[in-house]
Amino acid sequence: MIEVRGLTKRFGGHTALRGVDLDVARGEVVVVIGPSGSGKSTLCRCLNRLETADEGEIRIDGEPLPAEGRALARLRADVGMVFQSFNLFQHRTVLQNLTLAPVRVRGVPRAEAEEHARGLLERVGIGDHAGKLPAQLSGGQQQRAAIARALAMRPKAMLFDEPTSALDPEMVGEVLDVMTGLAREGMTMVVVTHEMGFARKVADRVVFMADGEIVESGPPADFFAAPKSDRARDFLAKVL
């Protein structure tokens, strides 16, 4: 579903990604971990073309990333992204947050978009809050709304960049539960997180990044029991 070859991204003189190769199969859940500044967010942002790669190739479902216009809008719909900060439209209701893009980008009839949106809000456990503004929801509820908003576009894959890092601790579980449910239903997912419990339980593969490179990658059982690189061992010693 996602193919990345030789992805290099520079910011001025700083190289944030150095020739990253990554394949994510349909239905696979890849958890990306690594120290701050290692390029995890930049990788996610390149996948969605929020950043433009300097070198390398990215294909989503076999198609190269479009550069602009309607094709780019469709790509962003196909690859849903959930950020640390919830990024909901603050002056729209929760329901409108879910229906705006499907109506505008996908051309879905409004009634159909609303019905789908209500189902998604039920599924993430905030069906009673459809008419509220985002500010009237807790952080955990807002993040679940943000996930539902991405799902409203019927994406082929979902990217999560530290989706629980800005949440109060008691709200982390409810968001991880929604993500776990999605994974079990077969969604293709790339998840940047420091939640090692989630990585252990839900990931098909853990990818460890440092200094703009993928240093190692493997099934979570192997990775956590016996990381191969010193950098991964050092990292795990700090976070576990």
Q: Does residue 201 touch ligand ADP according to CB under 6 A? A: no
| Site residues (CB under 6 A) for ligand ADP, limited to 12-71 | 14, 16, 34, 36-42
Residue nearer to Mg ion on the CB measure, 117 or 199: 199
Size of the site for Mg ion (CB under 5 A): 2
Interior CA angle at 233 toward 232 and 236, to 5°? 85
Residues, the chain: 240
Q: Does residue 217 touch Mg ion according to CB under 5 A? A: no
Residue nearer to ligand ADP on the CB measure, 18 or 123: 18
Q: Does residue 238 touch ligand ADP according to CB under 6 A? A: no
CB of 239 to Mg ion, least distance (A): 15
The one of Mg ion, ligand ADP, none whose footprint includes residue 16, by CB under 5 to 8 A per kind, is ligand ADP
The one of ligand ADP, Mg ion, none whose footprint includes residue 39, by CB under 5 to 8 A per kind, is ligand ADP
Residue nearer to ligand ADP on the CB measure, 11 or 85: 11
Output the six-digit token pair for 233.
């061992």
CB of 101 to Mg ion, least distance (A): 24
User: Within its chain, how far is the Cα of 157 from the centroid?
Assistant: 8
Residues 187, 193, 196, 202: what is their CA dihedral angle, to the nearest 10 degrees? 0
Where are the strands (E) in the chain, listed by range? 2-11, 14-24, 29-33, 55-60, 63-64, 79-82, 157-161, 188-192, 205-210, 213-218
* Phi, psi angle pair for 79, to nearest 5°: -120, 90
Size of the site for ligand ADP (CB under 6 A): 11
CB of 194 to ligand ADP, least distance (A): 11
| Site residues (CB under 5 A) for Mg ion, limited to 30-89 | 40-41
Residue nearer to Mg ion on the CB measure, 49 or 116: 49
Report yes or no: 163 and 83 within 8 Å, Cβ to Cβ.
yes
Beta bridge partners of 189: 29, 158
Residue nearer to ligand ADP on the CB measure, 79 or 214: 214
Separation between Cα atoms, residue 139 and residue 134, nearest integer Å = 9
The one of ligand ADP, Mg ion, none whose footprint includes residue 135, by CB under 5 to 8 A per kind, is none
Beta bridge partners of 29: 189
3-state secondary structure 136-193: HCCHHHHHHHHHHHHHCCCCCEEEEECCCCCCCHHHHHHHHHHHHHHHHCCCEEEEEC
CB of 31 to ligand ADP, least distance (A): 13
Interface with ligand ADP (CB under 6 A):
11, 14, 16, 34, 36-42
